[in-house]
Amino acid sequence: MKEFFKQVGATVVGIMIFCLVVGVMSVMSIVGMIASSSATKDVADNTVFVIDLNGQLQERAEDDIMAVLSGGRTDVIGLDDLLLAIKKAKNNDKVKGIYIQSGLFVSDSYASLQAVRKALVDFKKSGKWIVAYGDVYTQATYYLSSVADKVYLNPSGQVEWSGICSQTMFVKDLMAKFGVKMQVVKVGAYKSATEIFTGDKMSDANKEQVSAFINGIWNTVCTDVAKSRKVTVAQLNQYADNMITLGDPKDYVKYKLVDKLLYVDQLKAEVKKLMNLKDDDDVNTIGITGMAGVPGGSDDGDCIAVYYAYGDIVDNATGMASRSHVIDGAKVSADLRDLADDDDVKAVVIRINSGGGSAYASEQIWRAVQLVKAKKPVVVSMGGMAASGGYYMSCSANWIVAEPTTLTGSIGIFGMFPDASGLLTEKLGVKFDEVKTNKNSGFGTMARPFSEEEMGYLSAYIDRGYKLFRQRVADGRRLSTDAVEKIAQGRVWLGQDALKIKLVDQLGGLDDAVAKAAKLAKVNDFYTAEYPAKASWMDDLLDNGFSSGSYIDEQMRMTMGEYYSTFMLLKNINRQSAIQARMPYVITIK
Which residues form the catalytic set?
191, 388
Cα separations (Å) of 452 from 185, 443, 456?
12, 12, 6
State the Cα–Cα distance between residues 437 and 446, nearest whole angstrom: 18
Number of C-beta neighbours around residue 22 at 10 A? 10
Omega before residue 449 within 30° of 0, cis: no
Measure the CA–CA gap between 226 and 329, rounded to whole angstroms.
42
* C-alpha count within 13 angstroms, C-beta hemisphere, residue 330: 4
Taking phi over 0 as left and psi of -120 to 50 as alpha, with beta for the rest, 490 belongs to left
User: What three-state secondary structure class fits 472?
Assistant: helix
- Bridge-based pairing of strands 95-107 and 129-137 is parallel
Please provide the size of the chain in residues. Answer: 590
CB 406 within 8 A of CB 426: no
Q: Any residues with CB less than 8 A from the CB of 542 and at least 6 apart, and which?
A: none
Q: With CA atoms as reference, report the closest residue to 96 among 285, 260, 288.
A: 285
- Angle value at C-alpha 430, between 425 and 433, nearest 5 degrees: 95
Paired residues of 158 in beta bridges = 136
Question: What is the rounded CA–CA span in Å between residue 111 and residue 404?
Answer: 7
Beta bridge partners of residue 303, listed in sequence order: 345, 527
Q: How far is CA 189 from the centre of its chain?
A: 27
Q: Is 323 helix (H, G, I), strand (E, B) or coil?
A: coil
Q: Which amino acid is at 540?
A: D
CA–CA separation, 141 and 57 (whole Å): 11
What's phi and psi for 507, nearest 5 deg? -100, 135
Considering only CA atoms, give the Rg of the chain: 27
The CA–CA distances, whole Å, from 458 to 56, 302, 436 equal 40, 49, 21
Q: Residue 16, Cβ neighbours under 10 Å: how many? A: 10
Phi, psi angles (nearest 5°) of residue 394: -95, -30
Cβ of 485: how many Cβ atoms within 10 Å? Answer: 17
Q: What SS3 class is residue 559? A: helix
Sign of the torsion angle spanned by Cα atoms 246, 248, 253, 259: positive
CB-based contacts of 203, cutoff 8 Å, min separation 6? 192, 195
Residue 117's alpha-carbon distances to 28, 120, 211, in angstroms, are 39, 5, 24
* Helices 204-229/233-241 angle, 10° precision: 120
Which helix (H) or strand (E) segment is 540 a member of? helix 537-544
